[in-house]
Amino acid sequence: MSRKVLGIDIRNDSVSAVLVKTSLRESRIDTHAYIPIPDPKENPDHIKTALEALTGQIDPAGCDCVVSISADHFSYRILKVPFKEAKKIRMVLPFELEPTVPFAVDDLVIDFIDLQSEQRKEQTDLIAVAVPKSELAPYLETLAAMKIDPEEWRNLDKFKARDLAWRFIEPKIAEHSTVAKNTLVALKSWYRNKDSEQLPFDSGRGGKHYLHVRLKKASTEHIPNKKEMFQIIDMASSLRDKAILLFLFQSGVSVNVLQHITYSQVKEQLDQALLTLKITGDLDNKLRGRDIPFYYTFLNGEATETLREYCRKIHKKSESEAPLFMKRNGKQPVVNQWIWRIVKMCVERAGFNPKTITTHTIRKAFRKIVRQTDIDDDDKEQLMGHVISGSRQAYYDSKDVELIKKAYQKCNFQREIPESEVTKLRKQLEDEQTKRMVNEVRMDKLEKELETTRALLTKMLEKKE
């Protein structure tokens, strides 16, 4: 089967193209073109004009198009990451690039080239490439106007288009059947070919394209204990990420709270050992559906110390209504997707399976510690922001902050001191006690010698008189 490939090179002073025809036997250049751009400043639409001239010489219809633009638009970074899988590399690339590029990573198109170093088996050497979407958009719009866009799939016969879509969906079935089924439903709902025909999937029960969704069992989720949580927290790559993880773990709030909470809600409490958080429906929109006006939770210990250090570093000149946890551009709040990535990355670095721990799992880790604490069951539900079952809700005083605070203080969210450290501290204490006893004996001896000397001096003075 023959195939036509059109390569277009767009530069500041020219547009070049070459059309290659390929077959089972050979590949050969069919035609080529070169369109100079005399003075780009005189014509703001110089690229569009050049492409129109190009398409007048070479018809792009039926071609697979490959376009290159000037390297001036791109930022390049040479990086090393401790992964070999492309999926994991793509997950961490935004975090690795964010401190090194002068743009918000959400506004970039990012890709990478694996340098395939044979000497490094445990990590990947790569060249990361980033281009602002604002600089890429004019080229895409101009090319689309020339009808050089991904329309090939819509030109296919409906059965060929269906088979092509199924080849895309089928590998996802074993990995995550729910994602595969949702993709299938989405394609069936919006795809129409040039003849306005749908994809004819045989997805009924027993059909060729039937998908049996295997629900994720609760047993696959791993709720970390306190020691494991601190292993995950210690993998944070920045002070902000550590503050986020500690905030989630020691307050038990839902992840959407971190997106909505502002600096003003903690600003006046940063010098206190115990920080009080009033969670309302504006912070956690799920409370509205449960008819809960608010609930109280708290932060103390390492979480408060880390948050205090983070605010002093980041919020020196921030306004009160600034987001508490911001992106690195210092303007927008972190979004749930970013927090999810932070959690997944730290979980994997700590040696746990990232598929078994999510942002909501950290809330369950908070619940695990609260459940093991000897406090009233109603206090436990209040700290979680749950509705208290039965008539007990009417008799519970959710406004008594001091009572709820005492219940929270009984929960131990602090790091456990390793046994080796306990032994070391015990020995140091024993040594200090021994030194104190020796010093006390010496003091007693010196006091006696002083009394004896004082008595001798008194006698000597009396004889002289």
pLDDT of residue 241: 93
pLDDT of residue 367: 94
pLDDT of residue 368: 93
Q: pLDDT digit string (tens) for 246-274? A: 999 999 999 989 989 999 999 999 999 89
Q: Is the pLDDT of residue 166 over 70?
A: yes
Window from 42-56, 212-226, 234-248, 314-328 with minimum mean pLDDT: 212-226
Strands of 136-293, DSSP E: 274-280
Q: Is the pLDDT of residue 464 over 80?
A: no
Residue pair 6/58 in contact (Cβ under 8 Å)? The answer is: yes
Q: Is the pLDDT of residue 151 over 60?
A: no
Residue 152, phi then psi, degrees to nearest 5: -60, -40
Window from 167-176, 326-335, 357-366, 408-417 with minimum mean pLDDT: 167-176
Q: Shortest CA distance to 8 belongs to which of 178, 106, 139?
A: 139
Q: pLDDT digit string (tens) for 16-68? A: 989 888 765 677 888 888 988 877 667 777 888 888 888 888 888 777 777 88
Q: pLDDT digit string (tens) for 275-295? A: 999 999 888 888 876 778 889
Does 305 or 46 have the greater pLDDT score? 305
Does 307 or 207 have the greater pLDDT score? 307
Mean pLDDT over 61-87 rounds to: 81
Strands of 69-195, DSSP E: 75-81, 108-114, 124-132
Instruction: Compute and round to an integer the Cα radius of gyration of the chain.
Output: 34
192: confidence class by pLDDT, cuts 50, 70, 90 = low
Mark 48-80 as b/e (b = at least 16 C-beta within 10 Å).
Answer: bebbeebbeebebeebebeeebeeeeebeeebe
150: confidence class by pLDDT, cuts 50, 70, 90 = very low
pLDDT of residue 1: 47
205: confidence class by pLDDT, cuts 50, 70, 90 = low
14-22: strand order across its sheet = 27-36, 14-22, 3-10, 64-68
Q: pLDDT digit string (tens) for 325-384? A: 988 777 788 888 889 999 999 999 999 999 899 999 999 999 999 999 999 888 898 899
How many residues are listed for the chain in this entry? 465
Q: Is the pLDDT of residue 98 over 70?
A: yes
